[in-house]
């Protein structure tokens, strides 16, 4: 049995299933004594442990970004670094629109994605989906799951396909 | 300056020592200094700032970015050392200004300025590095500026400091720090080179009539220091000769009081000594009372 595939499930105040994952490698935190003392992921050492609803949290193979209420990128997973060709160290504190823009034909403007992220990051909206593309790429589209994560509260944008 | 070894810093952050070393390679933060044996020593302020940032963000790189931007709250020797290594005068000034917001001038000098320059010091006999040269001149300028704005003397006694160091000696900065501390404590002070010729030395001693003479710096010959002590004692019966930071070796100076190595500690000892003289003088009966 591969322990890293096992994800501990918890429940939030509203009774929703929440899971913990690393903000960089996306894996569930290791069940060690050290992991209970710190938020730093014991597996990769580059992410902090975040929590999100189980239907929003990324699966092992899914790239994701974490964006705060000011729409600044707070975390980029290792897979998202590879997929988008960006370096997390350079990407943090930059505006999310520097990397991703909406690619939904029905979306009236780019502001929709940003408004959605801001709403989710501030806790005003539940999980949603969007279609996005890398800023400088055309013909590539990703379906994205957007939901709240934390602490501290932020929007989790998981690129699915 | 509070420092932590790798294991202690890692334990404080709840990570393994290997993770901490990998952050140093990947992000260049926290930046440890090395002991003579090559062991890492992490600045407590940086580790504490990072730990705090972990509570407020989502990833290690953003936490490090946050800790760097905030500058670890109160200024630390590590931040000042980093600025000095980059020859960044403006940043160095800013770090000390920040420190003055939360520390006294004396504590800023003792806890931030001197430890930062100390870490850039080179081994005896080696020429100073460019970083040390820059740091030393910048620190000298800062201490001189602080001395200029020190309040006027409030005590009648004067303290004469003979400094036997040369430019880029760390001892010279400590001597200037001592002078600054004494001036801020209300004393009249004058710092001169220990290589003064006899006639000028006698003139200075007669003019100032110092209560205390402090010898500092480790570059003077013993006979030069002995000449100062002899002339000072010949000038006044009440003068006391003291050593700051080992100007005289232990075997040479059994009659010379030691002020230790800290400017603030030395100031406290000098003040205690002067206060003791003052109260003894008040208790001493005058000629009129005797008759």
Q: B60: which chain A residues are within 8 Å (Cβ-Cβ)? A: 24, 40, 45-48
Q: Do A38 and B15 touch (CB under 8 A)?
A: yes
Q: Is the pLDDT of residue B144 over 90?
A: yes
Residue in B57, B59, B63, B66 to test binding to A, most A beta-carbons within 10 Å = B59
Top-confidence range, A49-58, B30-39, B81-90, B252-261: A49-58
Residue B275 binned pLDDT confidence (cut-offs 50, 70, 90): confident
B288: confidence class by pLDDT, cuts 50, 70, 90: low
pLDDT above 90 (res B192): yes
CA distance B80 to B77: 5
Give the pLDDT confidence score for residue A109 in this predicted structure. 55
* Mean pLDDT confidence for B48-60: 83
Pick A38's closest partner by Cβ from B13, B26, B61: B13
Min distance A91 CA to chain B CA atoms (Å): 9
pLDDT of residue A108: 56
B290 vs A42 pLDDT, higher one: A42
DSSP character at residue A5: G
CA distance A133 to chain B (A): 23
Residue A74 to chain B, least CA–CA distance (Å) = 6
> If you average pLDDT over every residue of chain B, what do you get?
86
Q: How many CB pairs under 8 A join A and B?
A: 73
Q: Are B168 and B129 in contact (CB under 8 A)?
A: no
Residues of B in contact with A80 (CB under 8 A): none
In DSSP terms, B278 is beta-bridged to none
pLDDT higher than 90, residue B197: no
pTM: 0.53
Note whether B60 contacts A38, CB cutoff 8 Å.
Answer: no
| B71 phi and psi angles, rounded to 5 deg | 70, 30
Q: Do A48 and B54 touch (CB under 8 A)?
A: yes
Instruction: Flag whether pLDDT at A3 surpasses 60.
Output: no
**Mean pLDDT value across residues A42-55:** 89
A74–B22 CB contact, under 8 Å: no
Instruction: Read off the pLDDT band of B96 (50, 70, 90).
Output: very high
Report the residue of chain A nearest B18, measured CA to CA: A45
Task: Please say if the pLDDT value at position B75 is more than 80.
Answer: no
For residues A60 and A26, give the distance between their C-alpha atoms in angstroms, rounded to a whole number.
6
- Find the closest chain B residue to A50 by CA distance: B58
Confidence band of B273 (pLDDT split at 50, 70, 90):
confident
Partners of B59 on chain A (C-beta within 8 Å) are: 23-24, 46-48, 66, 74-76, 88, 92
Contact A158, A145 (CB under 8 A): yes
CB–CB contact B15 A45 (8 Å)? yes
Nearest by CB: A37 against B14, B18, B56? B14
Q: In the structure encoding, which two tokens stand for residue B243, read together?
A: 């050593």
The two three-digit tokens of residue A103, written as one number: 């690619």
Please report which confidence band the pLDDT of residue B190 belongs to, taking 50, 70 and 90 as the band edges. Answer: very high
Q: Which residues contact A79 (CB under 8 A, 6 or more apart)?
A: A26, A61, A62, A63, A64
| In B86-197, alpha helices (H) | 89-102, 105-108, 114-118, 130-148, 170-184
Instruction: Tell me what pLDDT residue A35 has.
Output: 58
**Residue with the larger pLDDT of the pair A25 and B44:** A25
Interface test with A, best of B17, B22, B27, B62 (most A CBs within 10 A): B62
B218's torsion region: left (phi>0), alpha (psi -120 to 50) or beta?
Answer: alpha
Distance from CA of B48 to the nearest CA of A (A): 13
User: Is a pLDDT exceeding 70 seen at residue B1?
Assistant: no
* From A92, A149, A150, residue closest to B61, measured CB to CB: A92
Whose tokens are 């200004």? That residue is B97
pLDDT single digits (tens) B98-108: 888 888 999 99
* pLDDT tens column, A128-141: 888 898 888 888 88
**What was the ipTM of the complex prediction?**
0.75
Question: Which run of H or E residues covers position B231?
Answer: helix B222-235
The stretch B254-259 carries a mean pLDDT of 80
Give the mean pLDDT of B129-135: 93
CA distance B270 to B264: 10
SS3 A135: coil
């Amino acid at each position: 049995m591969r322990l890293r595939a096992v994800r501990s499930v918890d429940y939030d105040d509203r009774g929703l299933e929440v899971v913990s994952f690393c903000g960089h490698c996306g894996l569930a935190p290791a069940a060690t004594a050290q992991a209970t003392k710190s938020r730093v992921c014991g597996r990769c050492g580059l992410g902090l442990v975040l929590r999100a609803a189980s239907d929003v949290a990324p699966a092992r193979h899914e790239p994701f970004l974490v964006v705060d209420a000011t729409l600044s990128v707070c975390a980029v997973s290792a897979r998202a670094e590879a997929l988008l060709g960006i370096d997390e160290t350079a990407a943090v504190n930059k505006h999310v629109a520097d990397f991703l823009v909406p690619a939904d034909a029905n979306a009236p403007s780019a502001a929709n994605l940003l408004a959605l992220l801001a709403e989710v990051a501030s806790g005003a909206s539940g999980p949603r989906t969007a279609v996005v593309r890398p800023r400088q790429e055309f013909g590539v589209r990703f379906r994205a799951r957007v939901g709240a994560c934390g602490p501290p509260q932020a929007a989790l944008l998981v690129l699915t396909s | 300056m509070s420092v932590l070894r790798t294991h202690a810093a890692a334990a404080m952050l709840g990570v393994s020592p290997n993770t901490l070393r990998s952050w140093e390679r990947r992000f260049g933060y926290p930046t440890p200094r090395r002991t003579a044996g090559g062991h890492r020593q992490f600045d407590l302020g940086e580790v504490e700032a990072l730990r705090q940032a972990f509570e407020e963000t989502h990833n290690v790189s953003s936490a490090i970015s946050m800790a760097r931007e905030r500058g670890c709250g109160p200024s630390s020797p590590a931040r000042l050392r980093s600025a000095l290594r980059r020859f960044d005068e403006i940043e160095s000034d800013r770090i000390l200004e920040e420190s003055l917001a939360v520390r006294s001038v004396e504590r800023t000098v003792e806890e931030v300025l001197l430890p930062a320059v100390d870490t850039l010091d080179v081994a005896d006999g080696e020429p100073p590095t460019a970083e040390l040269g820059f740091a030393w001149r910048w620190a000298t300028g800062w201490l001189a500026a602080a001395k200029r704005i020190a309040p006027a003397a409030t005590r009648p006694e004067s303290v004469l400091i003979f400094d036997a160091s040369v430019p880029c000696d760390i001892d010279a900065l400590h001597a200037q720090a001592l002078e600054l501390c004494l001036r801020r404590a209300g004393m009249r002070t004058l710092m001169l080179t220990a290589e003064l010729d006899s006639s000028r030395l006698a003139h200075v001693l007669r003019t100032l009539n110092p209560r205390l003479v402090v010898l500092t710096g480790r570059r003077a010959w013993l006979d030069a220091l002995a000449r100062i002590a002899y002339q000072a004692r010949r000038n006044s019966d009440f003068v006391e000769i003291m050593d700051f930071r080992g100007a005289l070796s232990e075997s040479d100076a059994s009659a010379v009081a030691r002020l230790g190595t800290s400017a603030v500690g030395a100031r406290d000892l000098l003040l205690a000594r002067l206060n003791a003289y003052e109260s003894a003088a008040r208790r001493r009966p005058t000629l009129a009372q005797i008759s």
